[in-house]
Every structure is written in structure tokens, then in C-alpha cells.
A and B are shown apart, each in its own frame.
Chain A
Amino acid sequence: MGLRDYVIIRVLLTIPLVLILLSVVFLLIRVLPGNPCLLKFEHNLDPQDLATCERSLGLSKPLYVQFAEYFVGLFRGNLGLSMVDFQPVSAQIVSRFPATIELTLYAFLIAVVVGIVLGSLGATKRGSVTDGAVKVIGILLYSWPVFFLGLIFQLIFGVYLHWLPTSGRLCPGCQVPQGLTIGSVHIQTGLYTVDSVLAGNLSAFVDSVSHLILPATALGLVISGVFIRITRTNMLETLRADYVTAARARGLKGRTVVYGYALRNALLPVVTVMGLQFALLLSGAVLTETEFNIDGLGRFLVDRVNYLDYTAIQGAVVFIAILIATVALLIDILYAYLDPRVRL
């Protein structure tokens, strides 16, 4: 099977994943007590208005019709109207998403770098004090509640040392970086660190980075526990492989063998596990965004949960499901590209 066929099959396989999650959440949310129309008009509503409100939100139709309509809308990028402010949910999600991407991206980078460096260090010094320390650090980071680490960071670097801001994405009242306009094309990613560079705005760049350091480091360190462990285990196995012994026997330098031969092959399985860590990152983002007042997808979800905003919760879940499926897909394809045996 060629790479192209493999990609097509993998794409088709992600559809049931999204569909299953959508159905579960759709049904689950319909169990929720409370009627958003009653909630909106604070219970003193004449029946006529109530019926109009329910009709406009599609609540009066049978459940399977609601489901079918939702599913059809999904393909057009329509996630329905929010039951709180009656604005399109998809637009709200799109406006909140860049903050989450920015946080998780930097956190992921930190996690991967810390994980690979410490993991391979432990494996090459197997059985030594260093290795023991790496193992303990890995377990400690994995067990550390991300919100507790975040609070400690806020206390030390924000309250005591006054080094870094503890809330939001930019200084209060500061203007959002506008990105770059070339002719009629306007490039604005919503990632403040990127937009400020595009706009050539150094102070906004420094500001957005300083706001990101604490949340991204807290989240990244907690996730790195998993990477340390996986890198170490895979590296141990690879270092025992025949070709590594052969390379050593031929007199190659220790560093060349470890980093040129073993690490590259040990990282292959790590790539597959990255996809699953993305889910962990998103869970962590919900906590980190709440803690650091970052207006991302996670905080959006928590806010809307408090208002019983069915459509917004459902929209966020569907969006996350599609996101997860896409990331899993990309990682699978990357893996198939790196390791042709997978395609067999």
C-alpha cells in the first residue's frame, strides 16, 4: 500500500471517531436539566415567547431531527447559535482557539525538549545516580497537579519576585498585535507572539512572551514527565540493539553512536505517543487557562458550562474531537512516512 492509500484509509477512519463523540455528547447534554429559554428570560416569560425562543433554537423538534440538522450543519462549519448570547458558536470558538494553540504549542515544545534531553540522559547512564534522578524527576513531574505547579509559579515569580505577569495574554489595556498587511492580504494568526513579530512590534512580542512563560512552563513541565519516561524506555531498548553494538565495535565515538544512531531510532515510537499527549495537553489547558485567565477554548468551555449553554459546550466538544482526530491523523501519516513498515 502506498502512502497515498494509507492516508485515504486513515482519513476515513477518523470519521467514526468524531461521530461517536458527537453522539455521546449530544445525548449526554440533552439529559441536562433546565431550559435555556427559561433561563434567559428568568422564568417570567409568556408561553408564546417561550415557544418562539424554543423554535429559534430548534428545541421544539424531535431529538433525531435535531441531531440530523446538527450533523448536516457541521459539514458547513455551522455549530448552531449559542443559547446564552444567540451568536454563532463557530465564530466564538474560532476567536478563542488561537490562545489555546499558542499555550499548548509552547508547552508542547518545552515538554518535548525536557523529555528528550532528560530521557536520553537517563538511558545512557543506565543504573547510575543520574539515571535514578531522571526517573524520580519523571515520576514527580507526571504526578504534579498542573494547577498546583501554576499556583506555585504565580506565587514565586509573580508575587514574590515580580518578574512575570500572572494573568491574561497581554498587559491590561494593551493593544492586540495586528499582524502583517501586504497589499490586500492581511495575515493575522491570533497567536500574539507570531502577530507581534509580523507587525514588527517588539514591545508587544516581549509582553506576550512574558505572559506565556509561566502557564506554558507549568503545563509543559507536567506533560514532560510522560516524554522523559517514554524516551528513556525506548532509548534503553535501542541501545541494546545489534546495530548499536556493531557501531560501537567499529570504533565510532560514543556520542555519535548515542545521538546519531540510537536516539534517532528511539524517537520513532515517541512520535506516535505524541498524538495521545495532545489530549493531555488540552485537559491541562482547561486548568491552566482558568488559572492564568487566558481567554482560550478551555476557559470558554468552563464559562459556558456554568450557563448551561448546550450548543456552545457541544460545539467545543465537536471542535476538540475534530482537532484530536486531525492531530492523530497527521501523526500517523508522519509515522508511516518515517517508518515504511507501517504501511505494509
Chain B
Amino acid sequence: MKKSDRFSVAGRLFAPLVGKGSGRGFMLAGLAMVVFVVAMSVLAPFLGTQNPTYLGTKVDSPPSPQHPLGTDIGARDMLARVVWGGRFLLVVAVLAVIFCMAVGIPLGLLSAYRGGMVDRVVTLVLDSIYAFPSLIFALIIVIVFGTSVFVYALAIAVVYVPSYFRVVRSQTLTVKELPYVDAARSSGAGHLAIIRKYIWPNIIPSVVTVATINFADAILITAGLDFIGVGDLTRPDWGVDLYYGRSTVLSGAWWVIAFSGLMILVTTLGFSLISEGYAERTNPKLR
């Protein structure tokens, strides 16, 4: 890595990926899991699976040569559902993270930078949302506005914007008082220049950590809402599989929940491992 890269935004973002040291194993393991799930979901149409929504005749049949992972209560092929079931969850998570960043980061910067009344009101409102159980908030939003991808993403964004806001705001408050920012200001740097050149690079590591956890939680919330049955139950989706599996698990149909559940776990675990590894590499206190 060139020396100048250490101070650029891209340098800050990717520096933790290279070089040995603690946290690297976590990051690589997490990346491998996420890459696996994303690749499987993107390539689903080309993997030659059966139709994940096709209603067959062999209801709740255990794994067999014809259905390697068995079938569910609607006689749908579980292998196909496992392969296709992450697409919706991942799209929701990606959209949610984009929404959150687009709102949470500017709001945090502005609130901390301006201070005063604006800061107090915004903090109060977002803290209220932050304190409330996220799944319940998201549940109400989905009930009101429907079960489309955008509504799910919006619901998760609403409950997750406060996390970005808090991190960005507190970092900005700390950085903005540092002598070098004062020095820049007194030598005539404008607000935007100060935010872009001095504050923003210091915020990146925290934002990345929040974003990776945001991915994991977005998957957990979306799958959770599908699990309690408020989502679109015709969609191939790991959460929906567990919703159907709930009624058949008591008769021993383990294959309906096992594979889809593991896929949710691999996805959330992948993002959590990346988050943990990244945090360890950027914050020596955690080592």
C-alpha cells in the first residue's frame, strides 16, 4: 500500500483487509460466507433447480433422490427453496443499508456540526425510536404499507437510522473539537471541506461496523417478520420456510426448517464476523 493511501477514504476503508493481525481470520471467514450466499442467490436461475413455488404431490416427504432436501407442506422442493430463498432477504438488506446511510449519516453530521435546538430535537426523536423494540416497529410499518421489497427496506431503515445517527454524531462531536480541525478552520477551510477532509475519514470505520451489523439485523428482522406470517407467504424465502416448518416440525419434519434456518444463520453469521473482525482491526481495545 502506498503511503498516501492511508489518508484517503478508500485507504481507510480497505486498509483493514490487508496485512496480518488479529481479526483477519474473522473477516475472511465472514467474507467467505457472505460471498457464498450472494453467489448462490445471484446464480439461482442458472443452477437448474426445480421451481421453488411449484406445488407437487409429495407433501412433507423426507430427503430422497428426487428431492435431495425433501419437500415442505405444499410439496415444494426444499433444495430449490434453499437456493432461491435468500434473494428477497438480501435485496431488502442492501436497500435498507442504502436508505439508512443516505439518511443517518448526513443527519448525524448535520446534527453534531450545527448543535443547538436542531440537534436536541433530532436526537430526542431518534433516541425514542432507538429505544423501541425494532421488530415491533418494523412489524407495524409492514402492516400499514404492505409487504413489498421497498416497504421492508423502509421498515428496517426506520429502526436502523438511529444507530448510524448515534455513531456519526458522537464521532463528529469528538473530532470537531480536535486541534487540527480548529487549525483548518482558522486557516479558512469551509464547513464542507472540514466535514469531507477531516471529519468524514474518522467516521468511516464506525459506519462500516454499523453497516455490517445492519446487514445481519436486516436479515434477522425480515426473516422474523416472515416467520410470524405477516409477509408474502407465496414467496420463496427462508423465513417463510420456517413459518411453514413451524406447523410440521412437531411431526418430525426436520428438513423443512434445518436447511433454510442454516442459510439464515450462515448469512447473519457472515456479516457479524466481518463486523467483529473489522472492529477488532480498527479498534485496538477489542483485541
Residues on A facing B (Cβ under 8 Å): 16-17, 20-21, 24-25, 28-29, 31-32, 135, 139-140, 142-148, 151-152, 154-155, 158-160, 166, 233, 236-237, 276, 279-280, 282-284, 286-287, 290-291, 298, 301-302, 305, 313, 317, 320-321, 324-325, 328
From known contacts A143-B268, A145-B268, A152-B261, infer whether A28 and B140 are also in contact, taking CB-CB under 8 Å. Answer: yes
B265-287 CB contacts (< 8 Å) to partner A: 265, 268-269, 271-273, 276, 285-286
From known contacts A31-B144, A148-B261, infer whether A155 and B136 are also in contact, taking CB-CB under 8 Å. Answer: no
Can you spell out 28 A-B residue pairs with CB atoms less than 8 angstroms apart? A17-B124, A20-B128, A24-B129, A25-B140, A29-B140, A135-B276, A143-B216, A143-B265, A143-B268, A143-B271, A145-B220, A148-B257, A151-B246, A151-B261, A158-B250, A159-B250, A279-B131, A279-B134, A286-B136, A286-B139, A286-B224, A287-B227, A290-B227, A302-B228, A302-B230, A305-B143, A317-B136, A320-B132
| Total residues of chain B contacting the partner, CB 8 A | 46
Q: How far is the CB of B120 from chain A (nearest CB, A)?
A: 10
Q: Which of chain A's residues have a CB closer than 8 A to the CB of B136? A: 282-283, 286, 298, 301, 317, 320
B236 within 8 A of A: no
Q: Which of chain A's residues have a CB closer than 8 A to the CB of B251? A: 159
Docked-complex contact A287 and B131, CB < 8 angstroms: no
B249 within 8 A of A: yes
Docked-complex contact B257 and A155, CB < 8 angstroms: yes
| A290 to B, closest residue via Cβ | B228
Please indicate which of the listed interface residues A166, A236, A302 has the most CB atoms of chain B within 10 Å of its own CB. Answer: A302
B211 within 8 A of A: no
Quick one: CB contact mask for B113-133 with A, threshold 8 Å, 1 for yes? 000000000001101110111
Q: Which of chain B's residues have a CB closer than 8 A to the CB of A313? A: 140, 143
Name the contact of A305 in the complex, choosing from B132, B139, B252, B254 (C-beta under 8 A). B139
Q: How far is the CB of A23 from chain B (nearest CB, A)?
A: 10
Docked-complex contact A147 and B143, CB < 8 angstroms: no
Q: How far is the CB of A100 from chain B (nearest CB, A)?
A: 11
| A320 vs B133: C-alpha distance when bound (angstroms) | 9
Q: Which of chain A's residues have a CB closer than 8 A to the CB of B26? A: 135, 139
